[in-house]
Amino acid sequence: MSEQPDRTTATGAAEPPDIETLAAEVAGIISSTLNVVTGLARTTAELSVRERLVEPPNADTPPLNAIIHYGLITVVNIAGLVTSAVRDSGESVKPPPTGRPATTEQQGLPTLPPGATLRMPLSVENRGDEAMTEVVPQVVELGYTGPDAATALDASTIRFEPERLTIGAHDFEKVKVIVTAAQSSAPGRYTLTIAFGAEVTTVIHFAIAS
């Protein structure tokens, strides 16, 4: 049996590794790492959209671009689930002291006091293959549950920023829902149904504190 030649130089030192072989090994490690990170990004995106399906990128999309794709889906969906209630001055509405009966504010609804303004960020998704152009958000219904229906808010107290939006195919856009309550506005729980064109409808809940 012939012996394999010892990879040594004339001085007896080991030969340096072949550059092309080393580069291929490093590229393989990087590719495997990116594939693992892509899988984790997709799992996170799927968890953020709950029961909806996550739109995958094209099959030939590079791993780094796929990671960015799933990361954007995750960020937008988490942002859509989180709403913030602030006064015009920017001061957060404080919960009532411990010991009082539970209110809508304590139950996690965005809540504003009478005479204040509530701003709720909302993400609108276009799952279609064609862009949604010049879409005007419309109040379909504003339901009320509370003690004084006669002074409940109506659709005229709701506005949107921006007032029109264009959403590319398989893309997202953000819109801010702004509710302005008068001092005499009825306290209680409100259910707002909003239409974005003929294809997209969403429902959000908020409350006016007593």
pTM of the model: 0.51
- In three state form, how does the secondary structure of 9-35 look? CCCCCECCCCHHHHHHHHHHHHHHHHH
Distance CA 177, CA 205 (A): 11
- Say what the pLDDT of residue 198 is: 85
The pLDDT of residue 82: 44
* 153 and 123 assigned to the same domain: yes
Residues 73 and 109 reside in one and the same domain: no
CATH number for position 204: 2.60.40.10
Strand partners, 157: none
| Residues 188 and 98 occupy one common structural domain | yes
Query: Do residues 69 and 164 share a domain?
Result: no
Tell me the pLDDT of the chain (210 aa) as tens digits: 555 555 545 555 556 667 777 767 766 777 677 676 666 666 665 555 544 555 666 666 677 676 776 666 665 555 554 433 333 333 334 444 443 444 444 468 899 999 999 999 999 998 889 999 999 999 999 999 999 999 999 999 999 999 999 999 999 999 999 999 999 999 999 999 999 988 889 999 999 998
pLDDT for the residue 142: 95
- 67 and 128 assigned to the same domain: no
Residue 201: which domain range?
Answer: 91-208
Please check whether residues 102 and 160 belong to one and the same domain.
yes
Interatomic CA distance for residues 86 and 169, integer angstroms: 33
Q: Nearest Cα to 175, choosing from 129, 206, 136?
A: 136
Amino acid, single-letter form, for residue 105: E
Q: Does 59 share its domain with 145?
A: no
Based on the domain organization, do 95 and 192 belong to the same domain?
Answer: yes
Q: What is the pLDDT of residue 30?
A: 73
Residues 116 and 62 in one domain: no
Residue 98 resides in a domain: yes
Measured over the CA atoms of residue 125, residue 131, residue 134 and residue 139, the dihedral's sign is: negative
**101 and 63 inside one domain:** no
Is 132 found in the same domain as 102? yes
Number of domains composing the chain: 2
Measure the N-to-C terminal CA separation of the chain; round to a whole number of Å.
Answer: 94
Same domain for 104 and 175, yes or no, is yes
Q: For residue 194, what pLDDT is reported? A: 95
Residue 177 lies in a domain: yes
d(CA 110, CA 27): 49
Could you give the 3-state DSSP secondary structure of residue 150?
A: helix
